């Protein structure tokens, strides 16, 4: 099969969503989803750096971060608050644990 | 004023809000409910010329399932607490992740980030709101699906759901994103879950392939609106073409926009040039290569002579037309002939391809956008003025040369009055052009903040007086723009709001709708 389906939606889709039953059916659907694949998670600091930071900080847009031994607390503060034109990043985007790994990764490189 | 919260929803006491927060916590758990200033910091920063505290949220909620969202709207109805929904939350220059009104609770769906389905044969995707373009791009590459994305310039960090719901644009042949949307799942204010179009029918397998369903088409009312919370979103992807030829055509004078648009329009309408073309002014491209301070110092907008010098120094046209051909090599060769003949006639155009300018940083990032590759190079715009202030001024123009010239001249004149530069481009359309101007200013300079606010206000006033409507605007000016579309449309929007969300809990004020 060439189709890719990370989640099993078949049972879900078979639920009736007639008007009267819709709320209940949706509750059931939601319950199924809770147990399904949890979605995206960061692997490590290097992945966050390459998939977010590097586009600006490895190019000519923002300042270079490597080789400056930037303190992790400083990196964490800038990521969460933003700085001038740099947008802040929320824990929903980069969770605290991944941010700690990112800060450590940047400091190390 | 509350001590416990950095802001409260309009008309809600601290005590009532305590109860609402307690209920939110019981649904989501403590870790997914933010109320402290430190936790809320990333929801507060905007690029608009108003105090960030005017748009500070009272709390932020991170939901991950439809069921949680249904319970959240139940709580909001009980306490009349308004929520502002974001998906990837990178609406930069339009209000960022902050709510339209101070005190609204942000419902952050970034963690709801599953790619539910990508169908290679039918070339569509079904995703949750928190999926970023980068996540989907990697997924497609990993599974070798041979499909291309179309995305806005913030590519990697933004996402298809939020972008399309705000009717954003990209640069491939699928660049007018909402045209390629197909099927949504929406949590309504009463907690019911609607699947639009074919999705309403049990057992249907055509939700992502046929848009219209039966009866009135509903998807449109969930874009740029506050009638529901979109929890799943289907859209079409472009099969990777066998060949791709990006090019840039440079012109040396501002008046040449007339010739450019007159040549492009028939090529776009007939499909010879299939993608969302960009006609970028030198000042839009300059920040990728040049520093403003090398060409002008002191207050005031940059003089024309300096722009001409800058363009020359950095091999830019005053206008730079970025477009591409897609298809088999034979198709491209044939269409290339048509394009070069059309642009070659007057002798004014300089036609350049990857062979000549493949290494040019401006060309490189534009070419990446036209094939749906990740790049954030366009953020260079913010190095032009510095200080992180930006608002997109986005009037719609006919794709007619005389009209684009008129809009450009008018915009430039008003910007100059306030000492601001014309960083503008025309994009997308077959019959229309989104005229997009980044009103750049230094947000750390109170004088520039004031000037930017007044300038933007005047741009809206003058343009609407001439019958030029704005397609999308930042949260500080939503009411003003809603007003320009007249009382009847506003009343219809309000009537729908009353019917679908009688307690006004969903993003009151979005697009001026309450
Ligand atoms: C340098 C630069 C270049 C840019 N270029 C472009 C461009 O080329 N094209 C373009 O379109 N934009 C552009 N933008 C603007 C903006 O950054 C993008 O449009 C971005 O995609 C929007 O953010 P998002 O995708 O994270 O959406 P979000 O911020 O998540 O959502 C946008 C809005 O949609 C509504 N919304 C979001 N999710 C839901 C939901 N689940 N249910 C109901 N309503 C919802 C909310 O009102 C929200 O404010 C640019 C910005 C910058 C800084």
Taking an 8 Å cut-off on Cβ atoms, the answer to whether A7 and B66 are in contact is no
What is the reported pLDDT for B428? 76
Mode of pairing for the β-strands spanning B238-239 and B243-251: unpaired
Same domain for A54 and A27:
no
Same domain for A20 and A57:
no
Catalytic hit among B265, B385, B472, B514: B472
What is the reported pLDDT for B123? 98
CATH number at residue A75: 1.10.760.10
Taking an 8 Å cut-off on Cβ atoms, the answer to whether B42 and A31 are in contact is no
Give me ligand 1 centre to Cα B296, in Å: 32
* Positive or negative: CA dihedral A40, B115, B160, B149: positive
How confident is the model over A32-61, as a mean pLDDT?
84
Same domain for A64 and A86:
yes
Q: How many angstroms from the chain centroid is the CA of residue B207? A: 25
What is the reported pLDDT for A28? 40
What is the reported pLDDT for B144? 98
Taking an 8 Å cut-off on Cβ atoms, the answer to whether B202 and A6 are in contact is no
What is the reported pLDDT for A37? 60
Residue A38 pLDDT class (50, 70, 90 cuts):
low
What is the reported pLDDT for A39? 85
- Euclidean distance between CA atoms B398 and A95, whole angstroms: 45
Give me ligand 1 centre to Cα B297, in Å: 33
- Euclidean distance between CA atoms A48 and A66, whole angstroms: 14
What is the reported pLDDT for B401? 97
Residue A23 pLDDT class (50, 70, 90 cuts):
very low
For chain B, the residue count is: 514
Active site (annotated) includes residue A31: no
Same domain for A26 and A53:
no
Same domain for A54 and A101:
yes
Per the structure, the count of domains in chain A is: 2
Active site (annotated) includes residue B471: yes
- B378 CA to chain A: closest CA distance, Å? 8
Question: In chain B, which residues fall in CATH 3.30.43.10?
Answer: 14-109
Same domain for A62 and A9:
no
Same domain for A53 and A11:
no
CB B377 within 8 Å of CB A57: no
Closest by CA position to A26, among listed B69, B275, B400, B148: B69
Lining ligand 1 with CB less than 6 A are B 85-94, 109, 129, 152-154, 158-159, 161-163, 165-166, 168-169, 229-230, 378-379, 381, 510
Q: Could you tell me the fold of the domain covering B14-109? A: 3.30.43
Give chain A as a 3 state SS string. Answer: CCCECCCCCHHHHHCCCCCCCHHHHHHHHHHHHHCCCCCCCCCCHHHHHHHHHHHHHCCCCCCCCCCCCCCHHHHHHHHHHCECCECCCCCCCCCHHHHHHHHHHHHHC
Give me ligand 1 centre to Cα A88, in Å: 15
Same domain for A51 and A18:
no
Give B207-224 as a 3 state SS string. Answer: CCCCCCCCCCCCHHHHCC
- Euclidean distance between CA atoms B55 and B103, whole angstroms: 7
User: What's the domain range around A9?
Assistant: 1-39
Choice between B328 and A23, residue whose per-residue pLDDT is larger: B328
Q: Which residues of A touch B138 (CB under 8 A)?
A: 51
Active site (annotated) includes residue A7: no
What is the reported pLDDT for A29? 41
Taking an 8 Å cut-off on Cβ atoms, the answer to whether B114 and A4 are in contact is no
What is the reported pLDDT for A14? 38
pLDDT of A25 over the 80 cut = no
Q: For residue B500, how many other CB atoms are within 10 A of its CB? A: 19
- Euclidean distance between CA atoms B137 and B155, whole angstroms: 10
How confident is the model over A49-71, as a mean pLDDT?
96
Q: How far apart are the first and last CA of chain A?
A: 43
- Euclidean distance between CA atoms A36 and B195, whole angstroms: 20
Torsion of CA A65, B92, B77, B4, to 10 degrees: 50
Same domain for A66 and A22:
no
- Euclidean distance between CA atoms B85 and B108, whole angstroms: 6
CATH architecture designation of domain B115-239: 2-Layer Sandwich (3.30)
Taking an 8 Å cut-off on Cβ atoms, the answer to whether B117 and A23 are in contact is no
Identify the closest residue of chain A to B37 by CA–CA distance: A81
Taking an 8 Å cut-off on Cβ atoms, the answer to whether B67 and A80 are in contact is no
CB B7 within 8 Å of CB B41: no
Q: Which residues of B touch A12 (CB under 8 A)?
A: none
Same domain for A104 and A54:
yes
CB B260 within 8 Å of CB B279: yes
Report the SS3 class of residue B115.
strand
Report the SS3 class of residue B279.
strand
- B111 CA to chain A: closest CA distance, Å? 6
- A108 CA to chain B: closest CA distance, Å? 24
Mode of pairing for the β-strands spanning B181-187 and B193-195: antiparallel
Give me ligand 1 centre to Cα B269, in Å: 27
Just give the CATH number of B243-465: 3.40.462.10
- Euclidean distance between CA atoms B97 and B120, whole angstroms: 33
Q: For residue A71, how many other CB atoms are within 10 A of its CB? A: 12
For residue B239 the two structure tokens come to 């099969």
Give this prediction's pTM.
0.94
Question: In chain B, which residues fall in CATH 3.40.462.10?
Answer: 243-465
Same domain for A56 and A5:
no
Angle at which helix B66-79 crosses helix A22-34, to 10 degrees, equals 130
Q: Would you write out chain B's pLDDT as a tens digit for each of its 514 residues?
A: 557 999 999 999 999 999 999 999 999 999 999 999 999 999 999 999 999 999 999 999 999 999 999 999 999 999 999 999 999 999 999 999 999 999 999 999 999 999 999 999 999 999 999 999 999 999 999 999 999 999 999 999 999 999 999 999 999 999 999 999 999 999 999 999 999 999 999 999 999 999 999 999 999 999 999 999 999 999 999 999 999 999 999 999 999 999 999 999 999 999 999 999 999 999 999 999 999 999 999 899 999 999 999 999 999 999 999 999 999 999 999 999 999 999 999 999 999 999 999 999 999 999 999 999 999 999 999 999 999 999 999 999 999 999 999 999 999 999 999 999 999 999 978 999 999 999 999 999 999 999 999 999 999 999 999 999 999 999 999 999 999 999 999 999 999 999 999 999 999 999 999 9
Q: Which residues of A touch B34 (CB under 8 A)?
A: 91
Report the SS3 class of residue B12.
coil
């Amino acid at each position: 099969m060439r189709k890719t389906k990370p989640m099993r939606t078949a049972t879900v889709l078979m639920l009736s969503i007639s008007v009267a039953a819709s709320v209940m059916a949706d509750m059931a659907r939601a319950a199924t989803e809770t147990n399904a694949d949890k979605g995206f998670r960061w692997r490590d600091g290097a992945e966050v750096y390459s998939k977010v930071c590097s586009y600006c900080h490895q190019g000519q847009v923002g300042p270079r971060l490597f080789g400056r031994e930037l303190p992790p607390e400083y990196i964490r503060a800038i990521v969460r608050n933003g700085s001038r034109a740099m947008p802040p990043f929320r824990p929903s985007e980069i969770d605290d644990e991944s941010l700690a790994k990112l800060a450590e990764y940047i400091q190390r490189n | 004023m509350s001590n416990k919260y950095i802001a409260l929803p309009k008309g809600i006491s601290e005590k009532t809000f305590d109860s609402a927060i307690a209920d939110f916590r019981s649904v989501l758990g403590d870790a997914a409910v933010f109320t402290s200033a430190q936790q809320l910091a990333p929801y507060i920063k905007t690029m608009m010329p108003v105090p960030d505290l005017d748009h500070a949220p009272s709390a932020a909620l991170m939901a991950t399932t439809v069921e949680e969202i249904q319970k959240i709207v139940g709580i909001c109805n009980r306490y009349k607490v308004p929520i502002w929904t974001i998906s990837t939350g990178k609406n930069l220059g339009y209000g960022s992740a902050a709510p339209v009104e101070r005190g609204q609770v942000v419902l952050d769906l970034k963690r709801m980030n599953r790619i539910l389905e990508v169908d290679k044969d039918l070339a569509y995707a079904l995703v949750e709101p928190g999926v970023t373009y980068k996540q989907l791009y990697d997924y497609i590459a990993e599974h070798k699906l041979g499909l291309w994305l179309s995305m806005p310039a913030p590519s990697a960090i933004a996402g298809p759901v939020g972008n399309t719901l705000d009717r954003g644009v990209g640069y491939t042949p699928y660049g007018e994103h909402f045209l390629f949307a197909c099927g949504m799942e929406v949590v309504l204010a009463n907690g019911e879950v609607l699947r639009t179009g074919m999705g309403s029918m049990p057992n249907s397998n055509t939700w992502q392939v046929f848009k219209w369903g039966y009866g009135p088409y509903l998807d449109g009312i969930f874009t740029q609106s506050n009638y529901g919370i979109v929890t799943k979103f289907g859209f079409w992807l472009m099969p990777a073409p066998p060949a791709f030829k990006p090019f840039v055509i440079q012109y040396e004078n501002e008046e040449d926009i007339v010739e450019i648009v007159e040549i492009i329009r028939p090529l776009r309408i007939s499909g010879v040039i299939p993608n969302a073309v960009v006609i970028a002014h030198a000042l839009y491209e300059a920040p990728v290569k040049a520093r403003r301070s090398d060409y002008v110092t002191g207050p005031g907008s940059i003089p024309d002579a300096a722009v001409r010098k800058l363009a020359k120094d950095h091999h830019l046209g005053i206008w730079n037309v970025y477009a591409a051909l897609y298809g088999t090599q034979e198709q491209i060769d044939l269409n290339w002939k048509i394009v070069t003949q059309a642009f070659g006639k007057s002798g004014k155009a300089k036609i350049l391809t990857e062979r000549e300018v493949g290494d040019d940083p401006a060309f490189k990032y534009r070419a990446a956008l036209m094939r749906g590759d990740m790049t954030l190079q366009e953020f260079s715009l913010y190095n032009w003025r510095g200080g992180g202030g930006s608002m997109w001024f986005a009037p719609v123009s006919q794709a007619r040369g005389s009209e684009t010239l008129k809009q450009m001249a008018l915009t430039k004149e008003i910007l100059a009055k306030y000492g601001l530069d014309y960083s503008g481009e025309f994009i997308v359309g077959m019959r229309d052009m989104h005229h997009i101007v980044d009103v750049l200013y230094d947000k750390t300079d109170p004088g520039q903040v004031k000037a930017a606010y007044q300038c933007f206000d005047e741009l809206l006033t003058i343009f609407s007086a001439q019958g030029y409507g704005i397609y999308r605007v930042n949260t500080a000016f939503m009411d003003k723009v809603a007003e320009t579309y007249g009382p009847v449309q506003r009343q219809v929007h309000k009537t729908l709001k009353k019917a679908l969300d009688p307690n006004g809990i969903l993003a009151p004020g979005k697009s001026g709708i309450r």
